[in-house]
């Protein structure tokens, strides 16, 4: 099976499970359910769930048994986007080609939708934690990755360094946390669940997270807004600390190429894998 077919298999399984999950959400008031569904079902590439399923397959696991961990992962990612788009944060009016959550439901409801999605993740993870010792550990890994030493530290650093001069060290902290933690988690969680090499999985995940944010920064500068589904050029406008600011565009592209090569080397150490290797190439060459 080629890469595209495999990606679609994972994606369509995930979309089916997520739709089911959303259909079963019957929170009151209706606006709460609607605002949660709006962002959860707004499409996107579902990189984290697909990476999780691909990694489970790589380590010899059955991905169809881990849908709820994948949904927890996507709930956390989605809540972070909703809060990140708020006027007090990145103030983005568009996300995935649609008006962002607060543009549709208002700021107060968007704050609550984000809180509710993080809470749903907490409930899902506690549900999974009861399945086995390994599930408990995988859930804990994700919770740590999402928290104050993980993704939120990256968001906070991103705010802190906006409008300031920053160097490579500060940039790499933002990359490792803001983006890296939640892209590393699905790979390490898969290793935990299947008894794979967690250390090597983590190294590969961290490199892939760096690559993802490098290309994100590059695309913010030279991508097409229609393809990306969000307003571009905002990093420069707001003077964010990005790889383009630190290295210049040529330097950033070079850095992305090197990081992609590093990802491939780490993947070989992890036992090689056609699907995950293609993910690396996709992340490097994507236009959205």
For the bound state, the minimum distance from the C-beta of residue 79 to a copy of itself, rounded and expressed in Å, comes to 8
SS3 string, 53-113, reads HHHHHHCCCCHHHCHHHHHHHHHHHHHHHHHHHCCCCCCCCEECCEECHHHHHCHHHHHHH
In the range 26-65, which residues lie near a copy of itself by CB under 8 A? 27-29, 31-33, 36
CA distance 112 to 241: 29
For the bound state, the minimum distance from the C-beta of residue 134 to a copy of itself, rounded and expressed in Å, comes to 12
Told to check if 7 binds a copy of itself by CB under 8 A, we report: no
In the range 211-230, which residues lie near a copy of itself by CB under 8 A? none
8 A C-beta contact, residue 46 and residue 14: yes
Stretch in the footprint of a copy of itself (CB under 8 A) among 57-65, 120-128, 189-197, 223-231: 120-128
**Tokens 């996107």 belong to residue:** 44
CA-to-CA separations, 219 to 37, 159, 213, 244, in angstroms, rounded? 27, 20, 10, 10
For the stretch 64-70, contacts whose Cβ atoms lie closer than 8 Å and that sit 24 or more positions apart, written own/partner, are: 64/13, 66/193, 67/13, 67/14, 67/17, 68/124, 68/127, 68/128, 69/124, 69/125, 69/128, 69/135, 69/138, 69/139, 69/142, 69/189, 70/14, 70/17, 70/186
CB nearer to a copy of itself: pick between 24 and 250:
24
Closest by Cα among 85, 84, 88, 101 to 40: 101
Stretch in the footprint of a copy of itself (CB under 8 A) among 46-54, 151-159, 179-187, 205-213: 151-159
Q: Is 189 exposed, middle or buried (CB count within 10 Å of its CB: 0-12, 13-18, 19+)? A: buried
CA 138 to chain centre: 16
Told to check if 130 binds a copy of itself by CB under 8 A, we report: yes
- What binding mask, one character per residue, do residues 159-178 give for a copy of itself by CB under 8 A, x or -? xx------------x-----
CB nearer to a copy of itself: pick between 123 and 254:
123
CB nearer to a copy of itself: pick between 58 and 177:
177
Told to check if 140 binds a copy of itself by CB under 8 A, we report: yes
For the bound state, the minimum distance from the C-beta of residue 109 to a copy of itself, rounded and expressed in Å, comes to 7
For the bound state, the minimum distance from the C-beta of residue 73 to a copy of itself, rounded and expressed in Å, comes to 13
Q: Which member of 16, 43, 60, 147 binds a copy of itself (CB under 8 A)?
A: 147
CB nearer to a copy of itself: pick between 112 and 280:
112
In the range 80-119, which residues lie near a copy of itself by CB under 8 A? 80, 83, 86, 88-89, 106-109, 111-112, 114-116, 118-119
Closest by Cα among 98, 105, 119, 101 to 25: 119
Give the footprint of a copy of itself on this chain (CB under 8 A): 25, 27-29, 31-33, 36, 79-80, 83, 86, 88-89, 106-109, 111-112, 114-116, 118-123, 125-127, 129-130, 136, 139-140, 143-144, 146-150, 152-153, 155-157, 159-160, 173
């Amino acid at each position: 099976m080629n890469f595209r077919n495999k990606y679609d298999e994972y994606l369509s399984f995930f979309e089916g499970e997520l739709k089911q999950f959303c259909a079963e959400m019957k929170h009151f008031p209706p606006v709460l359910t609607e605002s949660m569904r709006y962002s959860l079902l707004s499409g996107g590439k579902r990189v984290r769930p697909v990476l999780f399923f691909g990694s489970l397959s790589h380590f010899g696991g059955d991905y169809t048994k881990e849908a709820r961990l994948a949904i927890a992962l996507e709930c956390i990612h989605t809540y972070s986007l909703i809060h990140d788009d708020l006027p007090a944060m990145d103030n983005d009016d568009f996300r995935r080609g649609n008006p962002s959550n607060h543009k549709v439901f208002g700021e107060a409801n968007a704050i609550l939708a984000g809180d509710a999605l993080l809470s749903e993740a907490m409930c899902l993870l506690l549900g999974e934690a009861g399945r086995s010792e390994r599930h408990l550990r995988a859930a804990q890994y994700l919770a740590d990755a999402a928290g104050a030493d993980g993704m939120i530290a990256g968001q906070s650093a991103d705010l802190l360094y906006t409008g300031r001069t920053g160097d490579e060290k500060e940039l790499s902290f933002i990359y490792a946390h803001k983006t890296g933690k939640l892209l590393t988690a699905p790979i390490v969680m898969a290793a935990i669940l299947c008894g794979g090499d967690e250390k090597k999985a983590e190294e590969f995940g961290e490199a892939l997270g760096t690559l993802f944010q490098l290309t994100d920064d590059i695309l913010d500068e030279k991508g097409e807004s229609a393809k990306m589904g969000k307003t571009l050029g905002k990093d420069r406008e707001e003077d964010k600390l990005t790889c383009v600011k630190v290295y210049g565009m040529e330097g950033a592209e070079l850095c992305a190429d090197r990081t992609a090569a590093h990802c491939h080397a780490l993947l070989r150490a992890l036992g090689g894998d056609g699907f995950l290797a293609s993910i690396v190439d996709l992340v490097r060459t994507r236009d959205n």
